Amino acid sequence: QVQLVESGGGSVQAGGSLRLSCAASRYTVSINCMGWFRQVPGKEREGVADIDSLGSTSYADSVKGRFTVSKDNAKNTLYLQMNSLKPEDTAMYYCAAASTYSCRWYPLKRYEYSYWGQGTQVTVSS
């Protein structure tokens, strides 16, 4: 089991920035990949960015150049720095973790992630 708790969401105007955090705790498995996903009502949850145990990262085309995923292994914390935010970035953002999935070769596969946080809302106004 892995417990994931997100924070850092909020409301911001277009062009602004937010930094999401995801604290991982209560490990009983080794984590290989961690990722950020987002979902708006009525749509499927989509991958935003993920990072593997060696630091290899992947991004959805819609956020490349604007978002940066990183992790602090000492703090067991995953981050998502979001810059140049757009109204279409408005969504509930979820942190996820996987133990056996290889996100380096097959990135942003939602169904490969076994552990999920409760989500944090990001709202971008125009």
> How far is residue 48's CA from residue 125's CA, in Å, rounded to a whole number?
20
| Sheet hosting strand 67-72, strand order edge to edge | 3-7, 18-25, 77-82, 67-72
Q: Each residue of 102-122: pLDDT tens digit?
A: 899 999 999 999 999 999 999
Q: Each residue of 43-100: pLDDT tens digit?
A: 999 999 999 999 999 999 999 999 999 999 899 999 999 999 999 999 999 999 999 8
> How far is residue 108's CA from residue 59's CA, in Å, rounded to a whole number?
8
